[in-house]
């Protein structure tokens, strides 16, 4: 094979490979011989099908398979012979492909930068004071009651009041034309500003069962919902039924129904402890991010383009899956991702920078992920997946490359924990799973 190596930047490499025709022919012959042994064609004994018929019926697939095998084999060989270690899988670009005469392709990738982290050992920050008030506990108890409320159909009243739960159909119009994605048919809604967006609680309040109500609202240009921003919308709503919420009585029996509680005082104690644990975790996360930001600022590096792109694609995929699960059409998902391109690029570069710095710290501090830690984390992920997803998670981590990625992630977490422990003088306790 003929190899040409270019260096567009300090980290980026482009390796162009031209495979000799004799090598291509040998690989094609091998592929057709393997195919002949396994294929059954009418009129021919097993293993006797002529090459021209195999090429006629299976040629496209054979050529595709041969190209894939040759690309992987020669890319791996070129990288090993030239001691090149891509930080992520190379991007393959086929430049010429006319088998068996020609196969020329390029592998574009970035090298892992040599990173030595400085000025990270003498950081010091105070821990935040965590407080949980009686009101915090009262609010949580009330939320528990709200979630377990029963609905009772209202008799003798046909006008909607704040706090009611209604079955209603709602749609927004601008200049007499429906606003995209504003229509709700026979939707169960609680008439309160906490539960309804876009001021719909004001639209529904005072509505009468069976009578369409129309109310107009104007939204500022900077409004978060793009389809409503800067528009004057006429909301048309029809209420079909009105319900009131009946909350469970707040007593010891209610506490026992929440699980592993003997009485109301026990429930409040458990809620208080959980709130403190949650707020402590949030506080620790803020401190860790602050510490990491300081280290990043003190250790600027050239972030490999391919690593930043991988992080960006991961963020785009996360957003797309979230929007898709909420029922957003693919066209709108693509628009939303495009709107966030600049923000994604900025965040992706920082995530890639953070990963490189934390991995370097882990190396400098001899931090490793043990097999037991890896097995424990995989077990936790499988248990939390639940149901049918458990088999999918188990299968995912049956592959070595996925286990290795998780091992690296745990190592980074431990490196960040070490920064936190030094800076705060505390010791991180593993989360209960």
* pLDDT score, position 227: 83
Q: Which residue has the tokens 């050239």?
A: 302
Question: Count of alpha carbons within 13 Å of 357, Cβ hemisphere only?
Answer: 26
Question: Can you list the positions of beta strands (E) in 69-149?
Answer: 91-98, 102-110
> Cβ distance 428 to 421 under 8 Å?
yes
Measured N-to-C along each axis, helices 341-364 and 305-325 cross at an angle, to the nearest 10 degrees, of 120
Torsion of CA 265, 270, 274, 279, to 10 degrees: 30
All domains of the chain, ordered by start, with CATH?
2-110 (3.30.70.1050), 113-148+252-300 (no CATH), 150-246 (3.10.50.40)
pLDDT digits (tens, 9 = 90+) for 257-310: 998 899 999 999 999 999 999 999 999 999 999 999 999 999 999 999 999 999
If one counts every other C-beta atom within 10 angstroms of the C-beta of residue 230, the result is 11
Alpha helices in 261-340 (DSSP H): 264-298, 305-325, 330-339
- Give kind and range of the element (H or E) at residue 100: none
> Cβ distance 132 to 279 under 8 Å?
yes
pLDDT digits (tens, 9 = 90+) for 25-59: 999 999 999 999 888 888 888 888 999 999 999 99
Distance between CA atoms of 326 and 303, rounded to whole angstroms? Answer: 34
Which of 138, 115, 172 has its CA nearest to residue 275? 138
Taking CB atoms within 8 Å and a gap of at least 24, the contacts of 229-232 are 231/174, 231/179, 232/174
pLDDT-derived band at 427, boundaries 50, 70, 90:
low
For a pLDDT cut of 90, what percent of the chain falls above it?
Answer: 85
Query: What predicted TM-score, i.e. pTM, was given to this entire model?
Result: 0.78
What is the Cα gyration radius of the chain? 31
- Six-digit token string for 331: 């066209």
What's the Cα-to-Cα distance from 388 to each of 235, 384, 393, 394, 399, rounded to whole Å?
41, 11, 9, 11, 19
pLDDT reading at 9 higher than 70? yes
* pLDDT score, position 388: 81
pLDDT digits (tens, 9 = 90+) for 315-358: 999 999 998 988 888 988 998 899 899 999 999 999 999 999 99
Q: What are phi and psi of 357, to 5 degrees?
A: -65, -45
pLDDT reading at 432 higher than 50? no
pLDDT-derived band at 233, boundaries 50, 70, 90:
very high
pLDDT reading at 433 higher than 70? no
pLDDT-derived band at 429, boundaries 50, 70, 90:
low
pLDDT-derived band at 389, boundaries 50, 70, 90:
confident
* pLDDT score, position 24: 95
The mean predicted confidence, pLDDT, of the chain is: 93
pLDDT-derived band at 379, boundaries 50, 70, 90:
very high
pLDDT reading at 111 higher than 90? yes
SS (H, E, C) 376-419: HHHHHHHHHHCCCHHHHHHHHCCCHHHHHHHHHHHHHHHHHHHH
| DSSP per residue, 33-46 | HHHHHH---TTS-T
* pLDDT score, position 148: 93
SS3 216: strand
| DSSP per residue, 143-207 | HHHHHT-EEEE--S--B--TT-EEEEEEEEEETTEEPTT--EEEEEEE-STTT-STTHHHHHTT-
Angle at 250 between CA 245 and CA 254, to 5 degrees: 100
- Six-digit token string for 341: 């391109």
What's the mean pLDDT in 119-123? 92
* pLDDT score, position 224: 85
pLDDT digits (tens, 9 = 90+) for 142-191: 999 999 999 999 999 999 999 999 999 999 999 999 998 899 999 999 99
Angle at 63 between CA 58 and CA 69, to 5 degrees: 125
Q: Which residue has the tokens 């574009």?
A: 108
Q: Which residue has the tokens 């923000």?
A: 343
Which of 193, 205, 198 has its CA nearest to residue 168? 205
Q: What are phi and psi of 360, to 5 degrees?
A: -65, -40
- What is the DSSP secondary structure assignment for residue 303, as one 8-state letter? P
pLDDT reading at 18 higher than 50? yes
For a pLDDT cut of 70, what percent of the chain falls above it?
Answer: 98
- What is the DSSP secondary structure assignment for residue 94, as one 8-state letter? E
């Amino acid at each position: 094979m003929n190899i040409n190596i270019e260096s567009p930047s300090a980290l980026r490499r482009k390796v162009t490979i031209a495979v000799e025709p004799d090598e291509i022919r040998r690989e094609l012959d091998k592929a057709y011989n393997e195919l002949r042994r396994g294929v059954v064609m009418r009129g021919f004994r097993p293993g006797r099908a002529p090459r021209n018929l195999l090429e006629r019926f299976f040629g496209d697939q054979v050529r595709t398979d041969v190209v894939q095998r040759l690309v992987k084999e020669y890319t791996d060989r070129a990288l090993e012979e030239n001691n090149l270690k891509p930080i992520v899988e190379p991007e393959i670009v086929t430049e010429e492909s006319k088998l068996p005469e020609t196969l020329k392709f390029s592998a574009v990738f970035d090298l892992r930068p040599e990173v030595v982290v400085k000025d990270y050992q003498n950081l010091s920050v105070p821990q935040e004071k965590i407080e949980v008030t009686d009101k915090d506990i009262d609010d949580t108890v009330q939320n528990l009651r709200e979630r377990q409320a029963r609905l009772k159909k209202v008799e003798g009243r046909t006008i909607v009041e704040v706090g009611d739960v209604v079955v209603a159909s709602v749609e927004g119009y601008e200049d007499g034309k429906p606003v995209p994605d504003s229509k709700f048919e026979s939707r169960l809604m609680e008439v309160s500003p906490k539960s309804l967006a876009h001021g719909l609680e004001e639209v529904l309040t005072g509505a009468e069962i069976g009578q369409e109500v129309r109310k107009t609202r104007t939204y500022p240009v900077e409004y978060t919902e793009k389809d409503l921003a800067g528009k004057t919308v006429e909301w048309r709503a029809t209420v079909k039924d009105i319900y009131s919420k009946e909350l469970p009585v707040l007593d010891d029996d209610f506490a026992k129904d929440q699980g592993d509680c003997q009485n109301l005082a026990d429930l409040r104690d458990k809620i208080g402890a959980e709130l403190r644990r949650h707020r402590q975790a949030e506080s620790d996360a803020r401190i860790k991010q602050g510490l990491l930001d300081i280290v990043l600022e003190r250790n600027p590096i050239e972030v490999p383009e391919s690593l930043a792109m991988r992080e960006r694609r991961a963020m785009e995929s996360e957003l797309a899956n979230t929007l898709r699960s909420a029922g957003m059409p693919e066209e709108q998902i693509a628009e939303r991702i495009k709107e966030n391109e600049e923000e994604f690029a900025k965040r992706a570069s920082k995530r890639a920078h953070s990963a490189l710095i934390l991995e370097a710290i882990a190396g400098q501090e001899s931090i490793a992920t043990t097999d037991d830690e890896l097995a424990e984390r995989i077990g936790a992920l499988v248990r939390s997946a639940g149901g049918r997803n458990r088999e999918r998670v188990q299968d995912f981590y049956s592959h070595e490359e996925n286990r290795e990625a998780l091992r690296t992630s745990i190592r980074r977490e431990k490196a960040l924990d070490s920064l936190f422990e030094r800076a705060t003088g505390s010791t991180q306790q593993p989360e209960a799973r």
